[in-house]
A and B are shown apart, each in its own frame.
Chain A
Amino acid sequence: AAAGAERPQVVSHVQQALSYTVFDCKWVPRSARLLCLGSAARGTGLVQLYELRGARLELLREIEKPKPIKCGTFGATSLQQRYLATGDFDGNLNIWNLEAPEIPVYSVKGHKEIINSIDGVGGLGIGEGAPEIVTGSRDGTVKVWDPRQNDTPVANMEPVQGESKRDCWTVAFGNAYNQEERVVCAGYDNGDIKLFDLKTMSLRWETNIKNGVCSVEFDRKDINMNKLVATSLEGKFHVFDMRTQHPTKGFASVSEKAQKSTIWQVRHLPQNRDIFMTSGGSGSLHLWKYEYPAQRSKKDSEGSEMGVAGSVSLLQNVTLSTQPISSLDWSPDKKGLCVCGAFDQTVRVLIVTKLNKI
């Protein structure tokens, strides 16, 4: 364990009180600006653009939309355009040009119910292949969209006819290391985690972690799948080693019980894929480091390869609020800078120091 003076510190830089419920917050790539997405008291959606100026956040622009907005991503847009893709409470997927937000660049009513989670890949100079957006919704389906194709998704993962549906709570792209390969990982409220391979259009792996899955994320979207972190209710999260898939046992994992409450989000540090932060229902943030085992794979009794999970150690934790911290985003441009939004209607900009020494 690192000595007290050498551990990363989480410094709260700016706090901004908002007059609405914030569901998601994202940094605008290549800038010191951030977006807050949420729902105003009167039931409309709000997008606010802030700029970090000195010790305060200055509101640059406020955009109001008819339906509350649940989630957003810049993942599928180019660096010049920086269009924001959002999912709202009504199941609509929209892509907005923030300079001209009156009419969306792309719009589709993708789902019958609220879009709980959205992710994008192929944009921002990260990853290869076509830019795509994946949305996961309460109607139990996970759909992948290409902004060049209107109205119909390019992939649709839906329950079998007659199967009772389970809410999909979270989605994430991964394995996008060349133009053909891509996977989507989806987490559901009954604890199911499913890995869909988009190249072969099939279900590659599934498992169940007993508690509803709140958030999944690959450590990097644009490399050969390395690690996947899945967080769930009741304070548990699992780190799966995705390099070696065993035919029956799937992927090796290590799990950690961190907080007594739900772990709402996990986000990997863009500059170091072995460090990630989890945010909890008790208003706390935990910073973790994953250590690889001596050997990442070994042979089992029948000779097939199986992965070996490493270990996770806690670097730092801090409690910022009494309400759950529901959204978290690292800045891709400045190491250690992150923004988090909590249900106490506050958005906080934090700086994590000493990450270079890890």
Chain B
Amino acid sequence: MPVWLREHSWHQSLGAVYLSLPLRGARATAANIFCSERYLKVSIPPFLFEAILYAPIDDTNSTAKIGNGSIFFTLYKKEPAMWDSLTLANADKEKLQYLRENAVLKAHEKAKEETEAKKIAKQEHKKYALEATMKVEEAERKRIEDLKEKERQKVAKELELWKNQQKDGDKYKSIHKKGELPQEIEPSKERKSEKMNKTRIPNEGTSKNRFKSTKGHGSCSIFSQNLKEEHLPAPRAAATIKVNFTPRVFPTALRESRVAEEEEWLHKQAEARRIINSDLSELEDLKEEEKNPDWLKDKGNKMFAMGDYLGAVNAYNLAVRLNNKLPLLYLNRAACHLKLRNLHKAIEDSSKALELLTPPVPDNEKARVKAHVRRGTAFCQLELYTEGLQDYEAALKIDPRNKNIEKDAEKIRHLIQGTMQSS
């Protein structure tokens, strides 16, 4: 049960009611006071004071001063009249209840309205701020534009002035300009002083005032022309200078080259040459030169040229055992196998060669073409014409200008069509 505060005192004037409510030691804040048009409540647990006011008051303007252990209310009456008493005397419970609820509702509504109003006010402020900044920025931009315009106009005017100077100078031909020479020379001298050779100034002075190339040369200019010609040396004796250009491994411009791939290829080649797969035990029988894969490759090539295919294969085999990363060994061995009609081995070797010839760069084009052609031939001889054609077409892609490959590819196509028709 709350403790009712009853020791209040009040007095009134025509327009306002002054109510003083002593708090028995309790501390009051604004939150403890609830006031609406006809209902006033102060609730500081456990204390409670409420009053149904005699007549409506203007609760927005009324004030409450908290201090000195009491609250002092200044309530402005809605209608200036003298109240008989502060509160309604005969207030039954229901009316009290109803009034209380009403008051609460009204307070809620007021609160809502206030928040609404605040929101709207805030938006207005934001809009205003935005407009203000936009205006400021516009002003700034305009200022810069104006500066630029002024600059432009100034410069255009200067240009016009300069042009008119030129035009005026134009009017004076050679015969008349002797008088003007001193003035004309001064500004032009200043302009070109660092570059002019001193001895040539008299000549230049006369020729400089020729603003338009006309056929009418005055007397002075002819002389200046002649003088000038005397100074000119004869045409140079003809000679040729031979030049060399900086070599590049790949002749494309830096940004066009596929530098990364090309570097990779070069690297791979370098690596390959360095590998020595050594089976030392067996190799001890060999002579020094026979341990060198390149020497063995050459030997193999020679034997191939002479027709000794088996010997060539042996040479290549040994070379491969020493260094199995050189694509050319496999390529050449494939050629031997083709001649020996070891077609499957030929295919194997060509494939291995192609594997080693990655990445595909212009440098290893020829080798790749050969590998494809050899493999294609092997396939065709095994009557696997479609695979063969594939290889021939790959070869053509790398080297589209090779007529032999084209012819052979055509032949294979005909063969395929022939077999398809007959089967």
Given A13-B155, A125-B207: A157 and B241 within 8 A (CB)?
A: yes
Q: A345 near B: Cβ within 8 Å?
A: no
Q: A130 near B: Cβ within 8 Å?
A: yes
Distance (whole angstroms) from the CB of A178 to the closest CB of chain B:
9
The interface stretch among A185-193, A285-293, A309-317, A319-327 is: A185-193
Q: Are B253 and A190 in contact (CB under 8 A)?
A: yes
Q: Are A190 and B245 in contact (CB under 8 A)?
A: yes
Q: How large is the interface on B (under 10, 10 to 19, 20 to 34, 35 or more residues)?
A: 35 or more
Q: B240 near A: Cβ within 8 Å?
A: yes
- Assembly CA distance A154 to B235 (angstroms): 7
Q: Are A164 and B251 in contact (CB under 8 A)?
A: yes
With most chain A CB atoms within 10 A of its CB, the pick from B155, B191, B200, B217 is: B155
Q: A250 near B: Cβ within 8 Å?
A: no
Among residues 234 to 282 in chain B, which have CB atoms less than 8 Å away from a CB atom of chain A?
234-246, 248, 251, 253-255
Among residues 83 to 131 in chain A, which have CB atoms less than 8 Å away from a CB atom of chain B?
98-99, 125-126, 128-131
- Assembly CA distance A13 to B156 (angstroms): 7
Q: A248 near B: Cβ within 8 Å?
A: no
- Assembly CA distance A271 to B215 (angstroms): 30
User: What are the residues of chain B within 8 A of A153 when measuring CB–CB?
Assistant: 238
Among residues 196 to 232 in chain B, which have CB atoms less than 8 Å away from a CB atom of chain A?
196-197, 200, 204, 207-208, 210-213, 215, 217, 221, 225, 228, 231-232
User: What are the residues of chain B within 8 A of A55 when measuring CB–CB?
Assistant: 156
With most chain A CB atoms within 10 A of its CB, the pick from B208, B215, B238 is: B238
- Assembly CA distance A157 to B239 (angstroms): 9
- Assembly CA distance A165 to B233 (angstroms): 33
Q: Are A160 and B246 in contact (CB under 8 A)?
A: no
Distance (whole angstroms) from the CB of A353 to the closest CB of chain B:
6
Residue of B whose beta carbon sits closest to that of A12: B152
Given A80-B225, A191-B254: A159 and B242 within 8 A (CB)?
A: yes
Q: Are A30 and B211 in contact (CB under 8 A)?
A: yes
Q: Are B159 and A159 in contact (CB under 8 A)?
A: no
Q: Are A158 and B243 in contact (CB under 8 A)?
A: yes
- Assembly CA distance A79 to B156 (angstroms): 26
Main secondary structure of the interface of A (DSSP, over half): loop
Chain A-chain B contacts (Cβ-Cβ < 8 Å), number: 151
8 Å CB contact of A208 from B212, B231, B246: B246
User: What are the residues of chain A within 8 A of B248 when measuring CB–CB?
Assistant: 190
Q: How many residues of A contact B (CB 8 A)?
A: 69
User: What are the residues of chain A within 8 A of B234 when measuring CB–CB?
Assistant: 130
Given A52-B163, A156-B240, A351-B155: A188 and B245 within 8 A (CB)?
A: yes
- Assembly CA distance A144 to B235 (angstroms): 11
Given A146-B236, A191-B254, A234-B255: A13 and B159 within 8 A (CB)?
A: yes
Distance (whole angstroms) from the CB of B238 to the closest CB of chain A:
5
Q: Are B236 and A130 in contact (CB under 8 A)?
A: yes
User: What are the residues of chain B within 8 A of A30 when measuring CB–CB?
Assistant: 166, 208, 210-211
Q: B365 near A: Cβ within 8 Å?
A: no
User: What are the residues of chain B within 8 A of A160 when measuring CB–CB?
Assistant: 242-244
8 Å CB contact of A203 from B148, B155, B241: B241
Q: Are B207 and A52 in contact (CB under 8 A)?
A: no
Contact with B along A148-163 (1 / 0, CB 8 A): 1100111111111001
Q: A32 near B: Cβ within 8 Å?
A: yes
Q: B160 near A: Cβ within 8 Å?
A: yes
Q: Are B232 and A130 in contact (CB under 8 A)?
A: yes
8 Å CB contact of B246 from A158, A192, A223: A192
Q: List 13 A–B pairs whose Cβ atoms lie within 8 Å, in order of A's numbering.
A: A30-B211, A31-B166, A52-B159, A125-B207, A149-B235, A155-B239, A180-B233, A191-B246, A201-B239, A234-B255, A271-B191, A333-B191, A351-B155
What 5 A-B pairs have minimum CB-CB distances, sorted nearest first? Answer: A146-B235, A154-B236, A201-B239, A149-B235, A208-B246
